Structure 1
């Protein structure tokens, strides 16, 4: 944490394999059930207000950003170095799996405010996120690495729903990874987050992920599953299974098998050779918090600045102070909304061109060809 010119800028350790169990409080399950006692099954929770006691000390924008810039290995650059289209698809698949990060039952990041940003650099990779809608919550991401000639564009909308004994957050929207040296664009989605409340509290990534290179027609189909033994005994296996195929010939080229929090292997269907393409311990273990290099240059919309007082109070377990600070942030947003409505104004993104249609849903495109260096640096 470092002092900014107006207040503290708080950056926290990324989510990694170590988890965030120290944030759990006594009687967690009972308190969570009490939160939803008046919520009907099937209800959309995107407007649900979570008390600060149940918050991680970071915004959802920071969680999305960490999945890109907080890695122990340079997987994103490996995508560019594959000798063949198939090598590059396998590298992109490994990178996509690396964006799957552990979540903790009972705690959630802040719902970002409208126009909130998160701007971080790691080496030559510059990452910028902006909250382009508050209700519903929609996040846009643009990242560029001019040295490697790589570009990422995401537009994502999580839709959490309550089902009585569980909460499932489906993530709508697509991610694009462009390897400009090769003239290749990879489109993909991400798995959904499932919170099981009973019989055994847990949180898991589930669902199907499809990764396709538009130019080559190569496709990876991945299925995320979480297998629990009876009443939770025997552990939780975070399984990923799938295949890599040629969409034009329908030939299966590789089979994919493993666990996203351990290792992922591919098996060549032609010769039977098996190799490890992803090791979670090397990529998302022992991650360090970003550093504020230039506090004066941090934007007032930066997540680490907007939520600094809330995050600091949560980290100190000063729950009343956290509640008051969070209420102040949210009330300020209500005031700005009332102000815009009274003047007949519509909020406009500062960094993305945004559209929302019934056919295509939310879409965003960056206003600039590259992302600038950031005042917050990831190691």
Structure 2
């Protein structure tokens, strides 16, 4: 079972873990053959074995691409590769990392239940299950697009939620998000650090995630476990997050400590999560158990952590049905995030849905997607030169950098807070008489603060 030691680091790291997973998957299916490991037997965490030469033949990379990318990655061993590496578009999915950040909202009904709940321990059962629900999308191997500085993503029409995310820093990459409905507010400053180890990479969550339940003003803070991406070069790439997830009620001192089991031989223990809800005296009150890719259950327990006599183990969350044989392994909710189903009446010009590279990839045009991606990255570099030449600093539109520095075991975090301006903007747009709806195909993506790139 999990220990009950508190920690002080937090954040959200789904996007970087998925990004590195897919990069490793593409290299895995090519480098075995490239380096002469024909006939290599690979044991994967799902059980069974695979022939390394056969895996190499399945790769999507050309021989010259394999060679150049392997040589490139060698020099990064021991380094933080969060924003160093430019990758080809063939391993991307048609979604940005800001959209990935919004996927945690799929099961937001759990937070509505938490806010309405009278039992303080059941409140934490609901909230912690909500945080666990997003781990299912971590298995998706495709890499989301890195957001352009100033890029945004908006989401409405789901559980009464208004969600806004913005890329507030490029080096280091930092995204900020705010979500709200009648039951809760959710605030996130997302930053990660990585350590590339050759055949694996460690991912450290240097971020802060806070959730406020409105009825009683309860403030919860999340501390996720670190992540390890295995078999970047040899074997089948897979992700594990062994360690503790801690959700603390900053108002009362109650907390949840859930232990993510490490994956053992032939997949033993993979996905399994168990732990307790503790009161402020660190006495167990609820036992929780399940699998982070499938379901979570709870059961009242005694001070020894044993189930109370006659108490039933009840399910609190289960993964929704997902599409079969989906090209990008999307959930139904992920598909909605890319559509106008979750868009407000008129999108910001900086919204991720409007990215030309994302849209081209969604339409299956990899060549155009690659060209558009390179063009956006070059414009971003040009804007930076222009901004620095004028002696200006980038200023986020919807979030403000605070003086709050959150310490973590892996470095300090610059905390960004929602400034409320998006709420005012959205209210003004929604109250207008205009019925204008954004056309993704014809609306220009525009996150830029400095339009005259040629002057740089």
**Structure 2 residue 271 is the aligned partner of structure 1 residue 238:** yes
Q: What's 2:319 paired with? A: 280
Instruction: State the TM-score, normalizing by the size of structure 1.
Output: 0.81
Greater CA deviation, 171-180 or 317-326? 317-326
Shift of 1:317: 4.0
8 Å CA contact 1:105, 1:201 repeated in 2: no
Give the superposition deviation at 1:256: 2.0
Give the equivalent residue in structure 2 for 1:167.
201
Unaligned runs of 5+ in 1: 1-19
- Find the counterpart in structure 1 of residue 346 from structure 2: 297
User: Contact (CA 8 Å) 2:258, 2:276: kept in 1 or not?
Assistant: yes
1:105·1:203 contact (CA, 8 Å) conserved in 2? Answer: no
Q: Quick one: structure 1 residues 161 and 200, their matched pair in 2 at CA, closer, same or farther if it must change by over 3 Å?
A: same
- Contact kept, 8 Å, 1:168 with 1:194, in 2: the verdict is yes
1:128 to 164, 168, 173: 164
Q: Quick one: which of 215, 219, 223 aligns to 2:255? A: 219
Residue 397 of structure 2 aligns to a residue whose secondary structure is: coil
Aligned to 1:103, the other structure's residue is in SS state: helix
CA 1:27/1:193 → structure 2, altered by over 3 Å: closer, same or farther? closer
Q: What's the counterpart of residue 79 of structure 2? A: 43
Alignment of 1:319 onto 2:369: no
Structure that is richer in strand per residue? 1
Greater fraction of residues in helix: 2
SS of equivalent to 2:168: strand
What corresponds to 1:155 in structure 2? 189
- Return the structure number with greater relative CO, CA threshold 8 A, min gap 6: 1
Contact 1:113 1:131 in 2 (8 A): yes
Residues 240-270 of structure 1: CA deviation (Å, up to 9, x unaligned): 12221123x2211122221011121223223
Instruction: Give the drift of 1:105.
Output: 6.6
> How far apart are 1:25 and its partner, in Å?
7.1
Task: Classify 1:111/1:192 alpha carbon distance in 2 versus 1 (closer, same or farther; 3 Å).
Answer: farther
C-alpha separation in 2, matches of 1:81 and 1:124: 15
SS in 2 for 1:258: strand
Contact 1:355/1:362 (8 A) holds in 2: yes
Separation of aligned partners in 2, 1:168 and 1:221: 22
Which residue number in structure 2 is paired with residue 178 of structure 1?
212
Which region of structure 1 is more displaced relative to structure 2, 283-292 or 265-274? Answer: 283-292
1:199 and 2:232 equivalent? Answer: no
> 258-267 vs 287-296, which deviates more?
287-296
State the alpha-carbon separation in 1 of the partners of residues 366 and 78 from structure 2: 30
Match of 1:76 among 111, 117, 137: 111
Which runs of structure 2 are paired with 1:77-92 in the superposition (5 Å)? 77-92=112-127
Write out per-residue CA displacement over residues 186-239 of structure 1, whole angstroms, 9 at most, x where no aligned residue: 11133444321233321234432110111121100122234242xxx4577212
Query: For the Cα contact (< 8 Å) 2:104–2:131, is it kept in 1?
Result: no
Structure 2 residue matching 1:281: 3-state secondary structure: coil
> Structure 1's 143 and 106: CA in aligned 2 closer, same or farther, altered over 3 A?
closer
Cα drift, residue 74 of structure 1: 1.8
Give the 3 Å change call, closer, same or farther, for CA 91–123 of structure 1 in structure 2. Answer: closer
CA distance in structure 2 between the aligned counterparts of 1:33 and 1:362, rounded to whole angstroms: 37
SS of 1:114's equivalent in the other structure is: coil
Gap change, CA 1:245 and 1:29, over 3 Å in 2? farther
RMSD: 3.1
Tell me how far apart the structure 2 counterparts of residues 263 and 106 of structure 1 sit (CA, whole Å): 21
1:339-359 CA-partner distances (Å, limit 9, x unpaired):
100000001111111147485
Q: How does the TM-score come out when normalised to structure 2?
A: 0.68
CA contact (8 A) 1:260 1:280 kept: no
Q: Does residue 101 of structure 1 match 2:150? A: no
Give me the whole-angstrom Cα distance separating, in 2, the residues matched to 1:96 and 1:238.
Answer: 14
Q: Secondary structure at the match of 2:78?
A: coil
- Structure 2: give runs of 5+ residues left out of the alignment: 1-20, 32-60, 303-307, 323-329, 431-436, 439-456
135-144 vs 219-228, which moves further: 219-228
Task: Give 1:132 deviation, angstroms.
Answer: 0.9
How many residues in Structure 1 have an aligned counterpart in Structure 2?
A: 346
Asked if 1:255 is matched to 2:303, the reply is no
Residues 216 and 26 (structure 1), Cα distance of their counterparts in 2 relative to 1, 3 Å cut: closer
